[in-house]
Chain A
Amino acid sequence: MSDPRNEWPLWEVFIRGQHGLSHRHVGSLHAADAEGALKNARDVYTRRNEGLSIWVVEAAQITASSPSDKGPLYEPAESKVYRHPTFFDIPDEVGAM
């Protein structure tokens, strides 16, 4: 392992594809600053025509929920089936929702 103080910060990369969908997380990379992260994302993640728009977010800026909290966070919703939109048939033509 190299000295972590010599590492560029980690950035998370989000790309909006050709199909008008939302930006989707595609991976991460290292870069010295936001502009560099955009350029690196362009080179690393859009080589095969994947993208129309790129977002980069410094990973340290993301606040994540803790896996150990999943009981109190998510289990209460499981018993409330009336909230789940599973009672509708969605026609195929609608496409991705």
Chain B
Amino acid sequence: MNNALFESLLRLGDNTLVIGHRVSEWCGVAPVLEEDIALANMALDLIGQTQMWLGLAADVEGEGRSADDLAMLRDVWDFRNVLLVEQPNGDFGQTIMRQYLFDQFHLLQLQHLTQSTEDRIAAIAQKAVKEVTYHVDRSRDTVVALGDGTEESNRRMQAALTKLWPYIGEMFAADAIDLEMATAGVIPDPASLRADYDAATRVVFADAVLTPPAGDFAHGGGKTGFRHSEHLGHLLTQMQWLQRAYPGARW
């Protein structure tokens, strides 16, 4: 098995799985019906992408596991998502801020992945990039609308940005696995996406009348699996309980 490729696919699939699940937590309780449906649609897009990424990961691993096995039967320390996506929903503003911060990265990442030397990755990216282009359109406009909205909505969006700011850096922190795969042209070096990300987000924060915090401290440990935040375990408890309680249960 190509371990670096397997790890990279887990990182892709676990990001979309965990944020997809987080977004799905709004189903039925979003502030307005239209947002409720939009969030559910986005969650479904992300879970759909997860099926493809983890399906390919399972193929590459070659030990007979399925995408469902990887999603539902791994524990916290086997997950490879960045810490940003496992952070709790908070209020609606915090959810939308987290979404925009991820979507903007996700779009840049997928645009590069469409050029991957690994054909199966390029094919998945080509499908996903259309969905994510819409996700970032929507989350960006909502960040601007709420940031440049009322005094209360601006305060909540600023609080969300301040809270989530230290989780941005991990998305761009390259490790040996990233560099091995980037050298082979399979994935982009995450650090190479940072300039475009900063340029795009700077405009959005300005339009949204939000002030990015000073400092570039970044939490780490999610994508390497070294140390997830406490929130991921709680999320998995919800997400996985059915397969844990009724092993092998199917629709």
Of A8, A31, A32, A47, the contact of B41 (CB 8 Å cutoff):
A47
> Closest residue to A29 on the B side, CB-wise?
B34
Of B32, B33, B137, which is within 8 A of A39 by CB? B137
Contact yes or no, B141 A43, CB < 8 A:
no
Asked if B138 lies at the interface with its beta carbon under 8 angstroms from chain A, I say: yes
Enumerate chain A residues within 8 angstroms of B134, measured Cβ to Cβ. Answer: 42
**Residue contact A43 to B38, C-beta cutoff 8 Å:** yes
Chain B 28-69 interface residues, beta-carbon cutoff 8 Å to A: 32-34, 37-38, 41
Which residues of A, 45-83, contact B by the 8 Å Cβ criterion?
47
- Cβ contact of B34, chosen from A35, A44, A47, cutoff 8 A: A44
Q: Which residue of chain A is the closest to B149 with respect to CB atoms?
A: A32
Give residues in B with beta carbon < 8 Å to A: 32-34, 37-38, 41, 134, 137-138, 141, 145
Once the chains are docked, how many angstroms separate the CA of A30 from the CA of B138? 16
How many interface residues does A have (CB within 8 Å)?
13
Q: How far is the CA of A58 from the CA of B187 in the complex (A)?
A: 45
Cβ–Cβ contact A40 & B145, under 8 A: no
Chain B positions within 8 Å of A35 at CB level? 141
Known: A8-B32, A39-B137. A32 touches B145 (CB 8 A): yes
Closest approach, in angstroms, between the C-beta of B28 and any C-beta of chain A?
A: 15
Beta-carbon contact of B34 and A43 below 8 Å: yes
Q: Is the CB of A30 within 8 A of B32?
A: yes
Asked whether, in the complex, the Cβ of B138 is within 8 Å of the Cβ of A39, the reply is: yes
**Smallest Cβ-Cβ distance to A7: which chain B residue:** B32
Q: Which residues of A contact B38 (CB under 8 A)?
A: 39-40, 43-44
21 residue pairs bridging A and B, Cβ less than 8 Å apart: A8-B32, A29-B34, A30-B33, A30-B34, A31-B34, A32-B145, A35-B141, A36-B141, A36-B145, A39-B38, A39-B137, A39-B138, A40-B38, A43-B34, A43-B37, A43-B38, A43-B41, A44-B33, A44-B37, A44-B38, A47-B41
